[in-house]
Amino acid sequence: MSEFASDSLLVLLEVSPGGELSASAGELLSGAAAVGTPVGLIVAAPGDGSGLAERAAQLGAARTVVVESDRVASELVAPVVDALVAAAELVDPDAVLAAHSVDGRDIAARFAVRARRAVAVDAVSLSRDDMGVVAHHSVYGGAFTSASSSTFAAPVITVRQGAIDVTAAPQPVVVDRLDLAPSELRGATIVDVHQVETTSERPDLRGAKVVVSGGRGLGSAEQFALVEQLADRLGAAVGASRAAVDAGYVPHAHQVGQTGVQVSPDLYIALGISGAIQHRAGMQTAGTIVAINKDGEAPIFDIADYGVVGDVFRVVPQLLEALGERR
């Protein structure tokens, strides 16, 4: 194996239970490409590595370390952590990047402890200075921004999904294969996998340019369809308040806010959402905020660029009619 570039960043590319690269892969590689040479790491079931490495190169990986192990299907993240430790020794990167996803966080966490590295979480962008790779964060729902670095040694950084645009140019495919050493530390057993079907044509909430969200004001799961109708007209992702999620109108994955997804779209439309501080924490960095609420005193109007005091069941149908069919 030839030497790795001295400005390498090791990028953990998550593989879904269905054997595909996660949507975060392109974002992470683009983020890495802006501050150094992105080296991908793929840990996959036997036989899946080559195809995934090609995909990684298309998304901007200058090289990809591939580890194949049948442990990935039966053990929660443990084989990936083992592979990351080995890959980091091989590449000696300036930073290790993972998505701030459920799996990415766990892998980054265990790796950081085992390899004795500092961790920076939920970065929204990356830069480089004389201390090395710097992580930039959006704190308290975007009310503050901060930057962090490691006192020494390469940091482990988790990157918010959807925060970085996919811009990296495709690279030629260069693969480095690595064998996984047996590990004493077993992960939790994966007893069963239930794959969610991605039949929806709608964009992912994370990283969407337009988001239409509905709250308790929609009144029922059936009536929540109005939110989906407007979203589809605008090519938008569907979001929701926690109250709408708690009431069962939509699954938790759609929740925007403090304990849901934090979005930063060009346009955010809030329908029947009061604008509680925890909801605002997930959307107040949007470019333009539009709100429709029948209560003129609702706090959402304090941050809305354009507010309509009115009933969503009257205003939205009229809006849809005025916008007409999308051509």
Partner 1 sequence: MRIIVLVKEVPDTYGARTLNLETGLAERGASEPVLDEIGERSVELALTLAAEVDDAEVAVMSMSPESAVTRIRKSLAMGADRAVHIADEGLRGADLTLTAEVLAAAIRREAFDLVVAGDQSTDGVGGVIPAMLAEHLGAPHLTSLDEVALTADEVSGTRTTDGGSLALSAPLPAVISITEALPDARFPNVKGIMAAKKKPFDTWTLADLDIAADDLSAPRSIMTAVAERPPRVAGVKIVDDGDGGTKLAEYLTSNKLVRGAGR
Residues in 85-104 that interact with partner 1 by CB under 8 A = 100-103
> Does residue 303 touch ligand FAD according to CB under 6 A?
no
CB 266 within 8 A of CB 288: yes
User: The tokens of 207 are what?
Assistant: 């990283």
Rounded to a whole number of angstroms, the minimum distance from the CB of residue 78 to partner 1 is 8
Rounded to a whole number of angstroms, the minimum distance from the CB of residue 308 to ligand FAD is 9
125 contact, one of partner 1, ligand FAD, none, CB 5-8 Å limit per kind? none
**Per-position b or e across 182-216, b if 16+ CB within 10 A of its CB:** eeeeebeeeeeeeeeeeeeeebebbbbebbbbbbb
Rounded to a whole number of angstroms, the minimum distance from the CB of residue 170 to partner 1 is 24
182 contact, one of partner 1, ligand FAD, none, CB 5-8 Å limit per kind? none
3-state secondary structure 287-306: CEEEEEECCCCCHHHHCCCE
Distance CA 213, CA 205 (A): 10
232 contact, one of partner 1, ligand FAD, none, CB 5-8 Å limit per kind? none
User: The tokens of 264 are what?
Assistant: 């930063």
> Does residue 242 touch ligand FAD according to CB under 6 A?
yes
Question: In this complex, which beta carbon is closest to ligand FAD, that of residue 134 or of residue 312?
Answer: 312
> Does residue 258 touch partner 1 according to CB under 8 A?
yes
Rounded to a whole number of angstroms, the minimum distance from the CB of residue 12 to ligand FAD is 26
Residues in 176-215 that interact with ligand FAD by CB under 6 A = 215
> Does residue 42 touch partner 1 according to CB under 8 A?
no
Question: In this complex, which beta carbon is closest to ligand FAD, that of residue 80 or of residue 261?
Answer: 261
Distance CA 196, CA 77 (A): 19
Distance CA 74, CA 187 (A): 9
Give the CB-side neighbour count of residue 308, counting CA atoms within 13 A.
Answer: 15
Pairing verdict, β 267-271 and 288-293: parallel
Q: What are phi and psi of 209, to 5 degrees?
A: -80, -30
Rounded to a whole number of angstroms, the minimum distance from the CB of residue 25 to partner 1 is 12
> Does residue 130 touch partner 1 according to CB under 8 A?
no
Question: In this complex, which beta carbon is closest to ligand FAD, that of residue 55 or of residue 279?
Answer: 279
- By CB under 8 A, name the one of 5, 23, 86, 178 that touches partner 1: 23
